[in-house]
Chains A and B, each alone.
Chain A
Amino acid sequence: MRRNMQILLAILAFSLSLAGCDIYEQEDPSTYSTEELFDAFWEGMNTNYVYWSIEDTDWDDAYDAYKANIDALAADYDANRAEIGREIAEMTEDLHDGHMNVSLVSSSSGYTYLVNPRLFQILSGMGISDPYAAYNYTTMENQTGGLSQADQQWKTANYDADDYTTLTESDYYSETSSRIYTYRTNDASSFDDSVSFTVPSTPTSHSSFYGFLGRMNVGTSSDPSYIVYITFNSFLFTECLDDAQVQAFYNTWLEWIADDTTAGIIVDLRSNTGGYVADSCYIWAPLISSGTKAVVGKTRRKTGENRLDYSTWTPYYVQGSGEETFSGKVCVITNTLTASMGEFSTLFLKNALGAYQIGGTTLGGLGVLYESADTSQEVFAAGSFDAGEYVNVYMAGKQFRAQDGTYVDGNGIEPDETVDYDYNAFTTSGTDTRYEAALTWMKTALGVS
């Protein structure tokens, strides 16, 4: 019996030592060497990417398929950056996160190669044969500072006139918020009242921020009935409300949406790529009555290191602050570059106010970002991270699911009425078919000509 007990205890001790030894310890991807960038990228994605639950991409297979190639290329990172980017573009081509953007920065000087899976999916859908080359070619054109000789050679070798033309004439590239702003301000006389603002460099993000707000009377002078039109390029009110122009714009918005003579609102979110979540408290909350909680969807975060270690879903909503919910007609205009808070706002306007969506399908990037790569990596085990010294991965830190259970990321929000973008009409004569369609819809909905 004593011998048996000794054997049992020995087995017990051995088994416990086995149990305590084999828990995998993930290292911080930013601490990997440049030569190890594949492992850093793969590991960081494995833990920090938040949409694994809806992906068809087998990330383990990607490891086996790409590790040898990228390891070999990373041995001479600067010379092979463009090719490493292409390999990463292939690895990630089916991923859904619309915010995801991989930057391959030069260790000395030169162009930063970019991989944006969701955008490449859209460009591919436009008929662009080589989205990676077409996108990097066009962004190289905006590069401040010179390109290295290697970058110049890559650009020349990958130039494709058809791809280039298709991209530059797309709504993604040319239906810009600045053009929309310019056309509206130039055409301010078509509104009865208008106000606009321009902030060249915002206090925190140092982005340019501009917007136009106008209203036109479609009733009579004695019995006015207004259509209010609003557009702005980003959600940066949270950091810009101290600016006198922005303040005037915002106060006018509050005044008009509370005015009984406002019968309809057109919200133009084309090429609005997002910004502060808190902006919904300023811009959208006054449209619904206080006490109303307009749930747009749900978000969840990661709570562990494995791909599918998720938290509970938490509701993502706008808490009303208005005296009453706006009861008039609402139309929202969107395009390929309506993204993130632009998409959250589109869903809010549709869900809470029954808005009619006109234009193009939105980009499909509504996951929630954390403040910085450091915050994401060190604090939340989700979202942006650095893979070694020169590769930065920007992506969502929380997964978003719409109230109807669908995912906006990787899909976008389809309009109720698709209105095609007309490059020549828009860029040469300023004819804005999507705006005109929205105005026509609104007048019809209000029963005016």
Chain B
Amino acid sequence: MKRFSLIAALVFLPSLLFAGTWKVGLGAGMTVDFLQTSTGAHSSNEYSPYPGFSVSLSAAYDFLPYVGLESGFSLVQKSYKWENTASGDVNYDQNLFGEIPLWVMGYLPFGVRDITVSPYLGAGAWIGYWFLHHRKGSMKSTNYESASDLTNPSYSYSENVDFDDDTDNRFEWGLGLRTGVDVAIGRWIVRADFSWMPSLNSMVKDYQKNTVDRYNDIIVFGVSGMYAWGA
């Protein structure tokens, strides 16, 4: 609650000082998670990015035409693939987070007839909470099904995984950089956005000596629609 109050204060305080522009919007995008971890000496284990999604509700306040703050709430799926290249076992972890970012935005607006085009850069920080762990894939069974075919059959699965309080670190935070362009026609804005949002804490609690951490490191390609009012 304290964090939320702080973010709210940072967003709304400038409005008392400047007669700026308010914007609210809805967005969606695709995420790619470049998981940062180690497979040690086990070269047959490989991690690779796997697509996820994000949906977001955003609120922004531009207290000058070229500077603003932006926050909101996002559902972000961070997914990666684990594969054992020797056995052919494949697992896709799909981790869903709720996130609240705070961005400082800088715009370079220019006009083309009735359209205002605003390329932008943003930098910020975010906090998140991991509230769903889904996994799917296929694993080789231990047994065989036929004496005439001694290969292990594959077992396919798709399941939600219970969190383990001892091992799963569900709170996450990180920093971010973003760039994109806003195209405004009247009060309506269409945005194309690219952001990089690395996590600065591990999904794994430090529950053992030599814990091998897992850091999410995502990029997001997004589009959104916004409505603006004010100056």
- Determine if B44 and A380 form an interchain contact, defined as CB atoms under 8 angstroms apart: yes
Q: Is B99 an interface residue (CB 8 A)?
A: no
Q: How far is the CB of B136 from chain A (nearest CB, A)?
A: 9
Q: Indicate whether A314 sits within 8 Å of B142 (C-beta atoms), given known contacts A24-B213, A60-B208, A238-B150.
A: yes
Most chain B CB neighbours (cut-off 10 Å) among A43, A305, A368: A305
Q: Is B164 an interface residue (CB 8 A)?
A: yes
- B150 and chain A: residue at smallest CB distance: A278
- A299 and chain B: residue at smallest CB distance: B142
Query: Interface-forming stretch among A172-180, A315-323, A328-336?
Result: A315-323
Contact residues in B for A22 (Cβ distance below 8 Å): 213
Q: Is B139 an interface residue (CB 8 A)?
A: yes
- Determine if B142 and A18 form an interchain contact, defined as CB atoms under 8 angstroms apart: no
Contact residues in A for B215 (Cβ distance below 8 Å): 19, 23
- Determine if A278 and B147 form an interchain contact, defined as CB atoms under 8 angstroms apart: yes
- A286 and chain B: residue at smallest CB distance: B147
Question: B156-167 interface mask toward A, CB cutoff 8 Å, 1 = contact, 0 = none?
Answer: 010100001011
Residue B198 contacts which of A19, A25, A27, A304 (CB distance < 8 angstroms)?
Answer: A19
Contact residues in B for A15 (Cβ distance below 8 Å): 175, 200
Q: Is B143 an interface residue (CB 8 A)?
A: yes
Question: A250-286 interface mask toward B, CB cutoff 8 Å, 1 = contact, 0 = none?
Answer: 0000000000000000000000000001101110010
Q: Is B177 an interface residue (CB 8 A)?
A: yes
Contact residues in B for A316 (Cβ distance below 8 Å): 141-143
- Determine if A311 and B37 form an interchain contact, defined as CB atoms under 8 angstroms apart: no
Q: How far is the CB of B131 from chain A (nearest CB, A)?
A: 20
Q: Is B87 an interface residue (CB 8 A)?
A: yes
Most chain A CB neighbours (cut-off 10 Å) among B86, B104, B155: B155
Question: B89-104 interface mask toward A, CB cutoff 8 Å, 1 = contact, 0 = none?
Answer: 1010000000000001
> How many residues on the B side are at the interface (Cβ–Cβ under 8 A)?
52
A285 to B87, CA, bound (A): 25
A314 to B87, CA, bound (A): 15
Contact residues in B for A308 (Cβ distance below 8 Å): 164, 166-167, 207
A381 to B46, CA, bound (A): 12
Q: Is B26 an interface residue (CB 8 A)?
A: no
- B45 and chain A: residue at smallest CB distance: A381
Residues of chain B from 159 to 190 with CB closer than 8 A to chain A in the complex: 159, 164, 166-167, 175, 177
Question: A285-298 interface mask toward B, CB cutoff 8 Å, 1 = contact, 0 = none?
Answer: 10000000000000
- Determine if A281 and B175 form an interchain contact, defined as CB atoms under 8 angstroms apart: no
Q: Indicate whether A282 sits within 8 Å of B157 (C-beta atoms), given known contacts A22-B213, A24-B210.
A: no
Contact residues in A for B167 (Cβ distance below 8 Å): 306, 308
Residue A303 contacts which of B40, B91, B141, B150 (CB distance < 8 angstroms)?
Answer: B91
- Determine if A301 and B42 form an interchain contact, defined as CB atoms under 8 angstroms apart: no
Contact residues in B for A319 (Cβ distance below 8 Å): 143-146
- Determine if B212 and A281 form an interchain contact, defined as CB atoms under 8 angstroms apart: no
Contact residues in A for B36 (Cβ distance below 8 Å): 19-20, 23
Contact residues in A for B146 (Cβ distance below 8 Å): 281, 319, 321
- A60 and chain B: residue at smallest CB distance: B209
- Determine if A23 and B37 form an interchain contact, defined as CB atoms under 8 angstroms apart: yes
Contact residues in B for A23 (Cβ distance below 8 Å): 36-38, 212-213, 215
Query: Interface-forming stretch among A5-13, A69-77, A88-96, A226-234?
Result: A5-13
Residue B84 contacts which of A12, A238, A379 (CB distance < 8 angstroms)?
Answer: A379
- A316 and chain B: residue at smallest CB distance: B142
Q: Indicate whether A380 sits within 8 Å of B38 (C-beta atoms), given known contacts A8-B123, A277-B143, A319-B143.
A: no
- B135 and chain A: residue at smallest CB distance: A312
Contact residues in A for B37 (Cβ distance below 8 Å): 23, 304
Q: How far is the CB of A88 from chain B (nearest CB, A)?
A: 18
- Determine if B198 and A26 form an interchain contact, defined as CB atoms under 8 angstroms apart: no
A303 to B167, CA, bound (A): 15
Contact residues in A for B44 (Cβ distance below 8 Å): 378-380
A55 to B116, CA, bound (A): 64
Q: Is B41 an interface residue (CB 8 A)?
A: yes
Q: Is A86 an interface residue (CB 8 A)?
A: no
Q: Is A118 an interface residue (CB 8 A)?
A: no
- Determine if B82 and A303 form an interchain contact, defined as CB atoms under 8 angstroms apart: yes
- The chain B residues found within 8 Å of chain A, CB to CB, are 36-45, 67, 82, 84, 86-87, 89, 91, 104, 106, 123, 135, 137, 139-147, 150, 155, 157, 159, 164, 166-167, 175, 177, 198-200, 204, 207-213, 215
Known: A278-B144, A308-B207, A319-B146. 14 other contacts (CB 8 A): A1-B67, A5-B106, A26-B40, A28-B41, A60-B209, A299-B141, A305-B42, A311-B89, A311-B91, A314-B139, A314-B140, A318-B143, A379-B44, A380-B44
The 10 closest A-B pairs by CB, nearest first: A26-B40, A28-B41, A281-B147, A319-B145, A305-B212, A381-B42, A314-B155, A379-B86, A379-B44, A299-B142
11 interchain pairs (CB within 8 A)? A1-B67, A8-B104, A15-B175, A23-B215, A24-B210, A24-B213, A60-B208, A303-B89, A306-B207, A306-B211, A378-B43
- The chain A residues found within 8 Å of chain B, CB to CB, are 1, 5, 8-9, 11-12, 15-16, 18-20, 22-28, 31, 43, 46-47, 59-60, 63, 238, 277-278, 280-282, 285, 299, 301, 303-308, 311-312, 314-319, 321, 368, 377-381, 398
